[in-house]
Amino acid sequence: MTNEKDKILNDFLLRDYELKVRYLYDHFQRMWNRFNYFVTIELAITGGRFVIGDGKFSQELDYVGAGQSLIWYVFGAEDGYLVRVYQKHIEKAVDELKDIVWKEDKEKKKAYRCVHEMKEHLVSYRRKTILNLSGGVSLSG
């Protein structure tokens, strides 16, 4: 009976991990689509202003640009937060799986890394301490 329970637990943990990775992947797809929408809207506003407005900028265009930048910042902050949450969930699932796969081999368990884990170099555009804004929003995700 214990082997059957262990198999059910192992299958559950593996499926849980797969679902979490898939959800993170899908979130990255949504982020990419949203980025494309924002770039398209910006180009349409700017291009339309040059075609319709004789190439002169106006105060209204400044407000639209500032408003869109604020919206883009909020979406980016939320996306960055959600990516970190999903990555933490994946890390927990991986830890559970490592305990099952390498019960006895602590070296292999310690050596295994999640896909999103990487060393930060002194000069790196992904370095959180460099790109961290007030409020804890990291541009590097």
pLDDT tens-digit map of 88-101 = 888 888 888 888 77
Residues of the chain with pLDDT under 50: 125, 130-141
Cα torsion at 47, 52, 53, 58 (round to 10°)?
-60
pTM above 0.75, yes or no: no
Predicted pLDDT of residue 99: 81
Predicted pLDDT of residue 57: 66
Beta bridge partners of 132: 138
Predicted pLDDT of residue 12: 86
Give the CA distances from residue 111 to residues 17, 102, 118, 121, 131, in Å, rounded to whole numbers and listed in that order: 19, 11, 13, 19, 28
Helix (H, G, I), strand (E, B) or coil at 116: coil
Predicted pLDDT of residue 4: 84
Predicted pLDDT of residue 59: 74
What CA–CA distance (Å, rounded) separates 96 from 13?
7
